């Protein structure tokens, strides 16, 4: 009888422990991003070293870790699946821009797509605390509109934070200042400041929220005067 009770107790213990073991979650990967700081500006390079950063073997794993939301604005789907957000961000940072540091806390990494620099990217990182806010922003040309050589061409600003910002009354001020500085930069070789008329904030689960571009720091587009007709 004692042996049967021992067996029953052992089976009960195994049954109790099994669900706990089944739902055990893996430990989150450590958020060590301080290594990015070495690529910010110094006395010899006022714009930072974006090209060296993108080629750092830690950069792609960093993107894979923090940029996990689904995206549908970039590229055609293959077998029903769009390009990952990490790959999309890398596409938009391939042509070097800058790596800027603000307040000894925030990093803004910019670049554009190879052979199509009107498609621009910004990666913004808050290094404060143990858990870092990482935001990828992209400027996407509205193709049904005018060509990119036309100052009246319109663009959409896409924003992908690794933590939801849609419930916040205002996005972080440091983020909107970085976006304002970045979106005000004219296209290289043309002097055209892209006319951003739409902005979409995408939650980490893929839920989109359309916002006024000014909410994210985008200045109103300059008025374009029409040429006067000859009398």
Domain spans of the chain, in order of start: 27-216
Each residue's pLDDT tens digit, 21-41: 444 444 445 567 889 999 999
Which of 87-101, 163-177, 217-231: highest mean pLDDT? 87-101
Least Cα distance to 106 among 159, 37, 42 occurs for 37
Residue 122 has pLDDT above 80, yes or no: yes
- Among 27-36, 51-60, 117-126, 206-215, the range scoring the smallest mean pLDDT is 27-36
Q: Where are the alpha helices (DSSP H) in 67-172?
A: 85-93
State the pLDDT at residue 10.
39
Each residue's pLDDT tens digit, 66-96: 999 999 999 988 888 999 999 999 999 999 9
Residue 226 has pLDDT above 50, yes or no: yes
Alpha-carbon distances, residue 76 vs 79, 82, 117, 127, 222 (angstroms): 10, 6, 19, 34, 32
- Residue 48 burial (CB count, 10 A): 24
State the pLDDT at residue 166.
77
State the pLDDT at residue 222.
66
Encoded tokens for 61:
């794993």
């Amino acid at each position: 009888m004692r042996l049967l009770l021992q067996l029953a107790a052992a089976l009960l213990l195994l049954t109790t422990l099994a669900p706990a073991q089944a739902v055990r979650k893996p430990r989150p990967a450590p958020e060590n991003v301080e290594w990015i700081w070495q690529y910010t500006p110094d006395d010899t390079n006022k714009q930072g070293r974006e090209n060296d950063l993108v080629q750092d073997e830690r950069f792609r794993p960093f993107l894979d870790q923090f940029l996990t939301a689904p995206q549908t604005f970039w590229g055609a789907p293959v077998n029903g699946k769009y390009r990952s957000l990490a790959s999309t961000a890398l596409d938009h940072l391939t042509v070097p821009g800058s790596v800027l540091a603000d307040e000894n806390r925030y990093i803004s990494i910019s670049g554009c797509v190879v052979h199509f620099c009107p498609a621009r990217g910004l990666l913004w990182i808050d290094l404060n605390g143990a858990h870092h806010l990482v935001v990828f922003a992209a400027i996407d040309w509205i193709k049904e509109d005018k060509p990119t050589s036309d100052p009246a061409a319109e663009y959409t600003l896409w924003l992908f934070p690794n933590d939801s910002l849609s419930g916040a009354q205002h996005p972080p001020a440091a983020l909107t200042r970085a976006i304002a500085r970045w979106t005000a930069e004219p296209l290289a070789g043309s002097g055209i400041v892209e006319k951003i008329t739409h902005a979409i904030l995408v939650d980490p689960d893929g839920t989109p929220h359309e916002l006024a571009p000014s909410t994210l720091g985008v200045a109103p587009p300059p008025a374009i005067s029409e040429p006067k007709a000859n009398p």
